[in-house]
Structure 1
Amino acid sequence: MTLDEFTALHEISQTKYRYLRAVDTQDWELLRSCFTDDASVWYNQGKFTAEGPDNIIARLKAWFLPVVYSSHIALQPEIELTGPDTAKGTWRLQDIVHFKGPVPDPVRNLTGGEEITGAGYYYDDYRCVNGQWKIARTGYVRLFEQIARRAGRGDVEVKGVDERGVIKAA
């Protein structure tokens, strides 16, 4: 492996980590910077799809309301450089999502108080644009998804923090 190839793998990993942080912190501008201009997504076996960064972010903002607190982790990357400016990646996904209020989701009926815990695999296509690796296509397939409803969680209380993991400037 050459130094350039090693550097590309590192930069692709950084892009994926930045993407996950942007989703969890609801930093939509940062998220936009992770995508190519023609990016597309297909989440949860294709139940949620969107094309173009603006449409992707609009769809995510409609679901990741301020009452949603999430933690997404991508592990065990398998990245293949398929050309000088293209790559494919497979990542193990683990996520926990807390819903402090209702969210428009006709499939899951999320009325508030639920917690989704899941795992699966992300399948990504990357492209280097003007020297920066970006996500051209991303999606995931679940291994499992567990929804804990309020009644089944007893006295568990989830306290969301306003900063969402972001250090605020003084």
Structure 2
Amino acid sequence: MPEIDPVTRLIAIEEIKQLKARYFRCMDTKDYAGLRKVFADDATFDASCSLSVEPAPDAENWIHAGGDTIAAFVEAAVAPLRTVHHGHCHEIELMSENEARGVIAMEDQIWDAEGKPFLHGMGHYHETYRREADGWKIVTSRISRLRVILG
């Protein structure tokens, strides 16, 4: 792989950080059109650990393919809920000028429609990214949990 200019590397990493921040903001503010724009058309999202540390027994039903499908899944999952997602400690590695991978620490709190606690979770997003004509996109995303408190 050819050496990537340090300034190019820093700019790409910052753009990917902004992409992930947009993902969290769009989900929490219910901006599903904006959320759709963070995913590549051919993206996959593995949400099998969304509600627990271990994958759901029907894990295959929690893996979604395609940007439209992922955005629809997230909308259906969080629309009736209040959510707050924080992402921090971005570890991003450029594989080329147009491809990267990363691990982002996360914490989320979710309340039901009546305001009762539903979930408080901590873990990581494991992702790959691709630079497209209109900017960086999430290509693969998998959530892993270190701790989940239900209710």
- The TM-score range, normalised by the shorter chain, is 0.7 to 0.9
Larger radius of gyration between Structure 1 and Structure 2: 1
2:45 maps to 1:41: yes
The corresponding residue for 2:68 is: 54
Correspondences of 1:39-118 after superposition (within 5 Å): 39-43=43-47, 44=49, 45=55, 47=59, 48-65=62-79, 67-100=80-113, 113-118=116-121
Q: 1:11 aligns with which of 8, 15, 29?
A: 15
The corresponding residue for 2:52 is: none
Partner Cα distance (1:118, 1:33) in 2: 25
Look up the SS of the partner of 2:72 in the other structure. Answer: helix
Q: How big is the shift at 1:131?
A: 5.1
| Structure with higher RCO (Cα < 8 A, 6+ apart) | 2
Give the letter for the 1:9 counterpart: I
More displaced 10-residue stretch of structure 1: 84-93 or 46-55:
46-55
User: Structure 1: where are the runs of 5+ without partners?
Assistant: 102-111, 149-170
Partner Cα distance (1:24, 1:60) in 2: 11
**Are 1:72 and 1:95, in contact at CA under 8 Å, matched by a contact in 2?**
yes
Partner Cα distance (1:54, 1:131) in 2: 17
| TM-score, normalised via structure 2 length | 0.85
Q: How big is the shift at 1:114?
A: 3.6
User: Structure 2: where are the runs of 5+ without partners?
Assistant: 50-54
The corresponding residue for 2:139 is: 136
Partner Cα distance (1:27, 1:88) in 2: 25
Partner Cα distance (1:33, 1:60) in 2: 13
Q: Return structure 1 stretches of 4+ with deviation > 4 angstroms.
A: none
**Identical pairs, percent:** 30
Look up the SS of the partner of 1:146 in the other structure. Answer: strand
1:12-64 per-residue CA deviation (whole Å, 9 max, x = no partner) reads 00000001111111111101110111011002147421100111122122211
